[in-house]
Amino acid sequence: MTQLTEISAVKSFDGWQKRFQHDSQVLHCKMQFSVYLPPQAEKDQPLPVLYWLSGLTCSDENFSAKAGAQRVAAELGIMLVIPDTSPRGEGVPDAEDGAYDLGLGAGFYVNATESPWQRHYQMYDYIAEELPALIEQQFNISKSAISGHSMGGHGALVLALRNPDRFTSVSAFAPIVNPVNCPWGQKAFSAYLGENKQQWQQYDACHLLANKRGDWQLPIKVDQGLADNFLESQRLTRPLEEICEKTGVKAEFGYHPGYDHSYYFIASFIEQHLRFHATYLKA
């Protein structure tokens, strides 16, 4: 049984915002993740869980500190699980030039196959297998949903599209939906996965959804700020909407004038996303 070490606990809306550390067998390093336990956790009843995947440069602490999700999570009785965005620690490789979009803080939720990344950068398996098993081992869990922002939105969509039986719903804020065709994705995938672009497609939400067609049933919600300076340059959100229109897949897309790529945008609409997920987590 994997041992969790609790490294912080702060009371919030009658629940607890906690941070844990453990030895990851998948990533070969110590990992930290954050959890919000709503007040309903004290009743020892099974809790629905929302996994939140953060974006480039973030750790497990950005969402818990900036999104303001605890109030609504407490009301709805939803547990929040917020993993880190990459492996970390001594011996974990980083970008040689210290770039923000590769290496530490930029795991892209893939299983790396190329040197020097492949030993530690197995973030897909960590999120899909190791972390959920650890959460289920330590807490009383019922259903799960998944959400994320930017690189984390990419991760959430890919995890849901590849594992639809594990989640009741998926949502994203300003997601990288077509990484094989945007600079962030091309740089990361070239480093982590090599030059075989067929390998890249298993981590591309547009490619995955194009093969699902109109029989896809998992509810999808995506919100995008129209003042986001990465909207066009990184091909955020819109290519996924186009795929949905072509294939007849039903999804909810919202575009918001004036909102950028920051946590101010996330904080403005996180309540809507939590209530969206609650509809299915409690069904």
Rounded CA-CA distance 78/160 in Å is: 19
Rounded CA-CA distance 44/239 in Å is: 43
Of residues 149, 228, 273, 277, which has the active-site annotation? 228
| Known active-site residue 120 | no
| Known active-site residue 150 | yes
Of residues 24, 34, 86, 150, which has the active-site annotation? 150
For every residue of the chain, DSSP letters joined together read -PPPEEEEEEEETTEEEEEEEEEETTTTEEEEEEEEE-GGGGGT--EEEEEEE--TT--SHHHHHHS--HHHHHHHT-EEEEE-SS--STT----TT--TTSBTTB-TT-B--STTTTTT-BHHHIIIIIHHHHHHHHS-EEEEEEEEETHHHHHHHHHHHH-TTT-S-EEEES-B--GGGSHHHHHHHHHHH-S-HHHHGGG-HHHHHHTTGGG--S-EEEEEETT-TTTTTTTBSHHHHHHHHHHT---EEEEETT--SSHHHHHHHHHHHHHHHHHHHT-
Q: Residue 267 class from Cβ within 10 Å (0-12 exposed, 13-18 middle, 19+ buried)?
A: middle
Rounded (10°) CA dihedral 227, 232, 233, 237: 100
| Known active-site residue 125 | no
Of residues 149, 207, 261, 277, which has the active-site annotation? 261
Active site residues: 150, 228, 261
